Chain A
Amino acid sequence: MSKPRIKVPKKAAAGDIISIKTLVTHQMESGQRKDKEGNVIPRKILNKFACEFNGNPVFSADIDAAISSNPFLQFSARVAESGTFKFTWTDDDGSVIEAEKTIEVS
């Protein structure tokens, strides 16, 4: 599994609303395509994304087959204290991609 690319500001003031961008490499096979023999290529996508800050849910997304390969997500978070963002993507096969980013809040 490749490493997700995540942009979180290193520092913020308490109460700031920050913008977070994530991009993870994944083919997001939609289950709609067929191979050369005409067999349907089975669906294999990341179907769930979740972001937590210090253990509290911030944002999540239920992803369907219409999301492009290498899924990109941008969203916001309000930060009151320093801490760690935890990002998880869940694959159709049950495997999980995880990443963490810390932020310093003054």
Chain B
Amino acid sequence: MNPTRRQFLTGSAIIAAGGLSTLGLPAFAAAEDVTKALADFVGDSETKTGKLTLKTPEIAENGNTVPISVSVESDMTEESYVESVMVLAEDNPLPNVITFNFTPASGKAEASTRMRLAKTQNVIAVAKMSDGTVYTDTKNIKVTIGGCGG
């Protein structure tokens, strides 16, 4: 389908407005903010991949509400369970998104929510197990219209 002239004009207006509104916003999260948030969460533990899966859309048309879900392979018993999963957005004004805290009564270490993304960027999930092991997973999400400020 070819976009009509009207649709094209509305589209340009949105892009123009988006461009203007980014002026004067606080600086986007610096890399050290992300590093610090990670260090606060995992301490000195070595991070591994596997077990933790972060599910996101590849392209988010609307950065105001991007569905994400995390799941960690675990039996969720008293002896071995997933304590918490933290989600960070690298290029948001504030990198912290959410921290899910699980208990053995959760049954499964799975949770979903909807988040805001300012622009195309990597989203990082970090899972901390009860025995201290740490797993990470990263996904890149392309954002059409940013969802912070405006």
Contacts and interface: CB of A to CB of B under 8 A. Distances in A.
Interface of A: 17-18, 30, 32-34, 38, 53, 56-69, 71-78
B89 A66 contact: yes
B3 interface: no
Interface size class of B (residues with CB under 8 A): 35 or more
27 contacts: A17-B108, A32-B25, A38-B24, A53-B105, A57-B105, A59-B100, A59-B103, A61-B113, A62-B98, A63-B98, A64-B94, A65-B94, A67-B98, A67-B115, A68-B64, A68-B114, A68-B147, A69-B64, A72-B112, A73-B111, A73-B113, A74-B69, A74-B110, A75-B106, A75-B111, A76-B111, A77-B107
B12 interface: no
Contact of A66 (B26, B105, B110, B116): B116
Interface of B: 24-26, 64-66, 69, 76, 89, 92-94, 96-108, 110-117, 147-150
A58 B103 CA distance: 6
B112 A58 contact: no
Contacts of A77: 105-107
B132 to A, nearest CB: 20
A20 to B, nearest CB: 10
A17 B102 CA distance: 14
B101 A62 contact: yes
Q: Which of B65, B92, B98 has the most CB of A within 10 A?
A: B98
A66 B97 contact: yes
A77 B76 CA distance: 11
Nearest to A21: B112
A33 B149 contact: yes
Contacts of B94: 32, 64-66
